[in-house]
Amino acid sequence: MGDLITQAVEGRLFRADKSLFDRVRRSNGSPEVKASAFADLARFNALYMIARAGSGHIGSSFSSLDFVSWLHLETMRGDGLPDGDLYFSSKGHDSPGLYAVMIALGRLPEDSLDLLRRLNGLPGHPDIDTPGVVTNTGSLGMGISKAKGIALADRLARRDRRVYVLTGDGELQEGQIWESLPSAVNQALDRVTVIVDHNKLQSDTHLVRTSDPGDLERKFEAFGWHTQRIDGHEMAAIRNALSNAEAETSRPSVILADTIKGKGVSFMEHTAMTDDQFFYRYHSGAPSTDDYHRGADEIWDRVLTRLAELGITDANPTAIETGAAAPVPTGPRERMIDSYSKTLMTCAESDQRIVALDADLLLDTGLIPFRDRFPDRFVECGIAEQDMVSQGCGLAIGGMLPVANSFACFLTPRANEQIYNAATERRKIVYMGSLAGLIPAGPGHSHQGTRDIAVMASMPHMTVVEPGFAAECEALTRWCLTDNEAGAYIRLCPLPVERDFEIPADYALHLGQGTTLLDGSDTVLFAYGPIFLAEALKASKYCAEGGGPSVKVIDLPWLNRVDPEWLAETVAGLGHVFVLDNHYTLGGLGSYLALHIGALPRPPRLHHFAVEGVPACGRNDEVLEYHRLDAHSLAARIRTAFG
Amino acid sequence: MGDLITQAVEGRLFRADKSLFDRVRRSNGSPEVKASAFADLARFNALYMIARAGSGHIGSSFSSLDFVSWLHLETMRGDGLPDGDLYFSSKGHDSPGLYAVMIALGRLPEDSLDLLRRLNGLPGHPDIDTPGVVTNTGSLGMGISKAKGIALADRLARRDRRVYVLTGDGELQEGQIWESLPSAVNQALDRVTVIVDHNKLQSDTHLVRTSDPGDLERKFEAFGWHTQRIDGHEMAAIRNALSNAEAETSRPSVILADTIKGKGVSFMEHTAMTDDQFFYRYHSGAPSTDDYHRGADEIWDRVLTRLAELGITDANPTAIETGAAAPVPTGPRERMIDSYSKTLMTCAESDQRIVALDADLLLDTGLIPFRDRFPDRFVECGIAEQDMVSQGCGLAIGGMLPVANSFACFLTPRANEQIYNAATERRKIVYMGSLAGLIPAGPGHSHQGTRDIAVMASMPHMTVVEPGFAAECEALTRWCLTDNEAGAYIRLCPLPVERDFEIPADYALHLGQGTTLLDGSDTVLFAYGPIFLAEALKASKYCAEGGGPSVKVIDLPWLNRVDPEWLAETVAGLGHVFVLDNHYTLGGLGSYLALHIGALPRPPRLHHFAVEGVPACGRNDEVLEYHRLDAHSLAARIRTAFG
């Protein structure tokens, strides 16, 4: 699920035109050769899209593209028609590959090749607003259940079609996968075919190094599924397996397709990893400029060979001049994850009870130093958030101080009942959710953690915090680990952010109190987190430049704890108060403060800015503006509220 | 997970004294005979506790008691000591059986036999505030994960002990069970032994009729666990299996114990069910007076035989005169589930798209008429909430209108990411969570749905409602099914409640508007749901009787939608406004209204009454008063707020 943030490749990039895909399809070669050529052209375009977007999943796009191409070219009946066969990827990470196929088939406009992870473009993970996308994915483990639901609906509607679902192999660590298998057998849902893109790698590294799945064939067979295992890059094997699945009329089918992550570019293939190389480099993010060109060249060379087999000898890629990428800030940048990671290490040196748990996001959650320094106190759980949290509860029962890490969007809702269960025991467990909030906006709403406060803050014995700068992150992490007696949830922005304000000289962490970052006399704006604080500070400046009001900006990192006296003093005499939430409208800091401010003897009027509607996918600046949460919009909204 | 609400058995009940258990333990018989006698005495006391409480799980207490007795008497080392072997039940429903054992062993005071499901007594599901209880259970599927965490902590602390976990067999439908299995093998957690109480029945009926688990031995073996299958009522088999598990030093062990639900009372044993009998009658709730006496007599007869084998011939049960049970209201009572069920049926007659999904709570969610009338449009998912919700999403993709049913406490947090995923697709799926809120308070906090609004209401395209009377339930259910365009969550109180207010003659449902149930001139109290509305109305009367203030009571069934004009008019000119939440402080109606009232030009002061701290377990009246949410407490709090 990793989503490293990297830079777009600048300069001249190359893509294959739809017309070339058309020529391949119309050529006289065997279906297998045509599908292989089509798949490689799609790889070429997927690489273009990711390089241009600056972010996306190369590895699993490439491992799945042979299968996905064959399905769309040869297997699916009525593909794209209302009652035709359906295909979707449960993992959703391989979306650039799927988009490349859909564009090549003319289902999406060709210029959307330039719009990966852009506002109103092609989202980082599939969304049904994109024509042809069956269902929203990116949150793992739901695909087989959904396919069953579709098959049941088809049965009721007397619709005769098949549903093909691709899953990751790391995804099989999610309990929902196994939860979903029995009823497909009991209900004889033979129209469901699951293809496991068994590329042996998950977000960070090899499955066997993360959480060995054991004998997957035996497991699926024990669950009663028609099970096949094939080479997932061999078109003839794919063809045969799919017809075997179609011939099976009493059971659902699973095809374990042995694939290579990054297939098609030698140095991106996981099989090129050296034995001492732990991390796979092409799961997410963008390639370097050099990697892009080497990769594109290698694919194109093979494309030429394949096209020659089909009698096409005059093909050329189309060169596209991209503009310069957004300038990288040159000033010093703070990254909350780094501060968290360091503080966790420091505390773990002196507190032997601290055990860190990870759910296959080691790179993104800053746990590598911890794992290396305290291997015995590091538990890699794989993509199994529920299991991770309940293991954490068990560790706490056994006297340890567990720290459970993942992305906010997965950890807090997927394991919600487990977290609550531990909270009812008043267990001291620290949860860290990275990728919290609207930004970064490239991965799309499955990865934008804008509900995490709502699902965490109502729990008893649970304090929710988000730091706005590195020193505060250190102080809060230390407070959660050492001072606090019960559970805490630390939500973190993963991006490096240039801090353009001075930390007050007398800064110290006080439970339930905020820190004034910019003074103002007419009103106060509460905000939190580095990105939204930056917008709040700029908004205050824009207000001042625009003739008022004078807006005091307070960083309030405590999202469900407030010192009532401090709050009363802070808002005393004000007619208006503003709260900025990096979160949906309900359940964030705004609704918490509203209760406390509303209870004051003479409450001021409260204005609330938050994420309304499903978070948009796009470039960060585009999405902030879309949601009217950028500094200019905020300043305008504040001025309007003042009348 | 069912929790039917029934009546306590009145009159003379019988229990076995601890001294008799002691005599059994000191006697000269074989360990097997002693354990069997001990188990039957524990059954006798568990039946007493449940009859007296008026609620509890007979079936799984009885099926597990042979195993649980043997473990505690013969297997566990240092049982009860700080670093001794640990045992807990992952399902937690069998708590009366476990309590009976703990009391017999002197770990809990003998008078707690009278305190099942009472305030400060023994909660309906295990809680660590009860001495000897290892972990809070009742939410299913977490036990193996927790055991792994304990075993990891033991390894770190160099503590040499074993962890025994009992799971249900229905519980194996939860994905977390399978999610938790691989790492136990990968980490060679040989100290973990799982016993599956394989009694073939789950909440409502047989596993095979609910969601056939298939070949469980083969599944556990495929997951790499040391697997045994035995007769779970045969002490010698239990002994051997546990020593085999102990001898296994490289893998965790699972023992599939074939048991009989209700074992020990012939007519309660599931094997006594006739072929045409679908529902098992002794899963939860209390026995009838007649069933109690017949059951107790049968157990005692067998106890006498077993005691005679041990040379004990003078044993007698102790008779306890219980007071009269709380009087059953004689007036007409409304049950929201009934109204929901009827409306769902009516709508389904005219809308062929409606498909109802259930997660093994058919009896509690009012779906029996639906299943019988529309068998093709009824999907029994078993205890698999995540799978149910994602299947619902698939059904909606396929053009159906899915209605997913369970208890609020399980449906909304366990499947939270799945619900959100479907919401981002703007799918029209209706969710119904019964057992919503603080009351009934007997099952304890694992079953008290006091966080469901918080985890649902922040979602886009999701309306959250709770009706306060039957006509409103009908109107809201119809609105959700026919008028509303996107998702909705209906939270329902399962109890029959006497409605002691008149529905206004002009009553009609208006989106975002409430209904005045009692007029008042000084302030307004917003509330919802039958139980809390009843308390609110009484509180208003108490205020009036006590000299003021005059409190208008408004039923506001819309928990995250409000008509701003209506709200502004309703609170105009008021200095104080009160909101009563059948929910935790954060995330309920209070924090929603606080945002909207706070945004008014001259906001009144807002006072909020909600569930603070983990919900207490007990009799409903006890628990309302404990949380200061009964009418008298509310009236006092309102008067205090007025100063």
B262, B291, B321 — which closes off a domain? B321
pLDDT: which is higher, A328 or B26: B26
- Provide the 3-class DSSP secondary structure of residue B203: coil
A293, A321, A349 — which closes off a domain? A321
Instruction: Look at residue B326 in the predicted model and tell me its pLDDT.
Output: 66
Out of B146, B154, B395, whose CB is closest to A390?
B146
Kindly write down the DSSP assignment for every residue of B122-152, as one continuous string. Answer: B-SS--TTSTT--S--SSTT-HHHHHHHHHH
Please tell me the pTM assigned to this model.
0.97
- The average pLDDT across B606-619 equals 97
CA distance linking residue A293 with residue A259, whole number of Å: 24
Strands annotated E in A486-522: 487-491, 497-498, 515-518
The residue among B140, B223, B391, B606 with the most chain A CBs within 10 A of its CB, best to mutate, is B391
Contacts of B152 in chain A (CB under 8 A): 355, 379, 391, 394-395, 398, 400
Hey, how many other C-beta atoms are within 10 angstroms of the C-beta on B592? Answer: 27
Count of domains forming chain B = 2
Q: Which of A196-205, B135-144, B547-556, B581-590 has the lowest mean pLDDT?
A: A196-205
Asked if A639 and A536 sit in the same domain, the reply is yes
Mean pLDDT of chain A, nearest integer: 95
Query: Can you read off the two tokens belonging to residue B567?
Result: 């709200």
Contact yes or no for B134 and A386 at CB 8 A: no
**C-alpha distances in Å from residue B468, one per residue of A397, B535, B590:** 41, 12, 17
**C-alpha distances in Å from residue B601, one per residue of A471, A636, A642:** 38, 19, 11
- Provide the 3-class DSSP secondary structure of residue A472: helix
DSSP B522: S
Element (H, E) at A354: strand A354-358
Q: How confident is the model at residue A6 (pLDDT cuts 50, 70, 90)?
A: low
Asked if B403 and B297 sit in the same domain, the reply is no
CA distance linking residue A398 with residue B152, whole number of Å: 8
Asked if B301 and B426 sit in the same domain, the reply is no
Instruction: Look at residue A331 in the predicted model and tell me its pLDDT.
Output: 73
Asked if B517 and B606 sit in the same domain, the reply is yes
The residues, ordered by sequence, that sit 6+ positions from A22 with a Cβ below 8 Å of its Cβ are: none
Out of A212, A399, A590, whose CB is closest to B153?
A399
Q: Is residue A29 part of a domain?
A: yes
Hey, how many other C-beta atoms are within 10 angstroms of the C-beta on B12? Answer: 10
Asked if B234 and B379 sit in the same domain, the reply is no
Q: Is residue B326 part of a domain?
A: no
The residues, ordered by sequence, that sit 6+ positions from B479 with a Cβ below 8 Å of its Cβ are: B465, B488, B509, B511
Out of A180, A397, A424, whose CB is closest to B146?
A397
Asked if A286 and A244 sit in the same domain, the reply is yes
CA distance linking residue A361 with residue A432, whole number of Å: 12
Asked if B315 and B387 sit in the same domain, the reply is no
Residue B314, class by beta-carbon neighbours within 10 Å (0-12 exposed, 13-18 middle, 19+ buried)? Answer: exposed
Closest CA to B534 of B333, B346, B344: B333
Q: What is the pLDDT of residues A414-446, one digit of tens each?
A: 999 999 999 999 999 999 999 999 999 999 999
CA distance linking residue B248 with residue B226, whole number of Å: 8
Asked if B296 and B371 sit in the same domain, the reply is no
The residues, ordered by sequence, that sit 6+ positions from B274 with a Cβ below 8 Å of its Cβ are: none
Q: Is residue A222 part of a domain?
A: yes
CA distance linking residue A526 with residue B283, whole number of Å: 52
Count of residues for chain B? Answer: 643
Q: Is residue A330 part of a domain?
A: no
The residues, ordered by sequence, that sit 6+ positions from A321 with a Cβ below 8 Å of its Cβ are: A11, A12
Instruction: Look at residue B327 in the predicted model and tell me its pLDDT.
Output: 67
Checking if the pLDDT of A409 tops 80, the result is yes
- Cis status, amide bond into A109, omega within 30 of 0: no
Q: What is the pLDDT of residues B457-493, one digit of tens each?
A: 999 999 999 999 999 999 999 999 999 999 999 999 9
Asked if B347 and B305 sit in the same domain, the reply is no
pLDDT: which is higher, A389 or B280: A389
Domain harbouring B533, CATH code: 3.40.50.970
Q: What is the largest CA-CA distance in chain A?
A: 83
Q: How confident is the model at residue B278 (pLDDT cuts 50, 70, 90)?
A: confident
CA distance linking residue A341 with residue A370, whole number of Å: 8
pLDDT: which is higher, B79 or A557: A557
To the nearest 10°, report the CA torsion of B312, B317, B318, B324. Answer: 170
Report helix angle A530-545 to A631-642, nearest 10.
50
Q: How confident is the model at residue A1 (pLDDT cuts 50, 70, 90)?
A: very low
Asked if A341 and A313 sit in the same domain, the reply is no
Count of residues for chain A? Answer: 643
Q: What is the pLDDT of residues A443-475, one digit of tens each?
A: 999 999 999 999 999 999 999 999 999 999 999
CA B221 from centroid of its chain's CA atoms? 31
Out of B398, B418, B601, whose CB is closest to A154?
B398
Checking if the pLDDT of B1 tops 60, the result is no
Contacts of A134 in chain B (CB under 8 A): 397
Residue A42 sits in which domain range?
2-321
Q: Please state the φ and ψ torsions of residue A432, each to the nearest 5 degrees.
A: -125, 120
CA distance linking residue B407 with residue B3, whole number of Å: 10
Checking if the pLDDT of A202 tops 80, the result is yes
Specify whether the CB–CB gap between A358 and A365 falls below 8 A.
Answer: yes
Asked if A418 and A546 sit in the same domain, the reply is yes
Q: What is the pLDDT of residues A585-594, one digit of tens each?
A: 999 999 999 9
- The average pLDDT across B207-219 equals 92
Q: Please state the φ and ψ torsions of residue A347, each to the nearest 5 degrees.
A: -65, -40
Q: Which of A126-140, A276-290, A355-369 has the lowest mean pLDDT?
A: A276-290
Q: Is residue A326 part of a domain?
A: no
Instruction: Look at residue B3 in the predicted model and tell me its pLDDT.
Output: 43
A321, A344, A378 — which closes off a domain? A321
Contact yes or no for B394 and A149 at CB 8 A: yes
- Cis status, amide bond into B440, omega within 30 of 0: yes
Report helix angle B564-571 to B589-598, nearest 10.
80
- The average pLDDT across B119-143 equals 96
Report helix angle B235-247 to B31-53, nearest 10.
100
Instruction: Look at residue A332 in the predicted model and tell me its pLDDT.
Output: 81
Q: How confident is the model at residue B6 (pLDDT cuts 50, 70, 90)?
A: low
Residue of chain A nearest B418, judged by CA positions: A142
ipTM over the 0.95 cut-off: yes
Query: Can you read off the two tokens belonging to residue B337?
Result: 């589930």
Contact yes or no for B603 and A607 at CB 8 A: no
Contact yes or no for B145 and A421 at CB 8 A: no
CA distance linking residue A143 with residue A167, whole number of Å: 7
Checking if the pLDDT of A4 tops 50, the result is no
Instruction: Look at residue A453 in the predicted model and tell me its pLDDT.
Output: 98
Report helix angle A289-309 to A31-53, nearest 10.
160
CA distance linking residue B230 with residue B241, whole number of Å: 8
Instruction: Look at residue A327 in the predicted model and tell me its pLDDT.
Output: 67
Instruction: Look at residue A325 in the predicted model and tell me its pLDDT.
Output: 66
Asked if A292 and A369 sit in the same domain, the reply is no
pLDDT: which is higher, A635 or A329: A635
Q: How confident is the model at residue B4 (pLDDT cuts 50, 70, 90)?
A: very low
Q: What is the pLDDT of residues A595-630, one digit of tens each?
A: 999 999 999 999 999 999 999 999 999 999 999 999
Contact yes or no for A180 and B584 at CB 8 A: no
First-to-final CA distance of chain B: 45
Out of A146, A218, A414, whose CB is closest to B393?
A146
Query: Nearest CA of chain B to the CA of A617: how many Å?
Result: 13
Checking if the pLDDT of A541 tops 70, the result is yes
Q: Is residue A327 part of a domain?
A: no
Contact yes or no for B223 and A213 at CB 8 A: no
Instruction: Look at residue A3 in the predicted model and tell me its pLDDT.
Output: 43
Q: Is residue B392 part of a domain?
A: yes
Ramachandran region of residue B151, left (φ > 0), alpha (ψ -120 to 50) or beta? alpha
CA distance linking residue A415 with residue A410, whole number of Å: 8
Looking at chain A, the whole-number percentage of residues with pLDDT higher than 70 is: 98
Mean pLDDT of chain B, nearest integer: 95
Report helix angle A58-70 to A31-53, nearest 10.
150
Kindly write down the DSSP assignment for every residue of B575-641, as one continuous string. Answer: SEEEEEEEEESTTSHHHHHHHHHHTSSSPPEEEEEEE-SSPPPS-HHHHHHHTT-SHHHHHHHHHHH
Query: Can you read off the two tokens belonging to residue A620?
Result: 């960060």
Out of B175, B381, B605, whose CB is closest to A178?
B175
Q: What is the pLDDT of residues B404-447, one digit of tens each?
A: 999 999 999 999 999 999 999 999 999 999 999 999 999 999 99
Query: Nearest CA of chain B to the CA of A353: how many Å?
Result: 9
Q: Please state the φ and ψ torsions of residue B320, each to the nearest 5 degrees.
A: -125, 125
**Token pair 């599927």: residue:** B141
Contact yes or no for A136 and B424 at CB 8 A: yes
Q: Is residue B330 part of a domain?
A: no
Instruction: Look at residue A2 in the predicted model and tell me its pLDDT.
Output: 40
Contacts of A154 in chain B (CB under 8 A): 398
Q: How confident is the model at residue A643 (pLDDT cuts 50, 70, 90)?
A: confident
Alpha-carbon Rg for chain B, nearest whole angstrom, is 26
CA distance linking residue B454 with residue B276, whole number of Å: 42
Specify whether the CB–CB gap between B331 and B501 falls below 8 A.
Answer: no
Kindly write down the DSSP assignment for every residue of B94-126, as one continuous string. Answer: THHHHHHHHHHTTSS-GGGGG-BTSTTSB-SS-
Instruction: Look at residue A7 in the predicted model and tell me its pLDDT.
Output: 78
Q: How confident is the model at residue B329 (pLDDT cuts 50, 70, 90)?
A: low
Angle at A201 between CA A197 and CA A203, to 5 degrees: 105
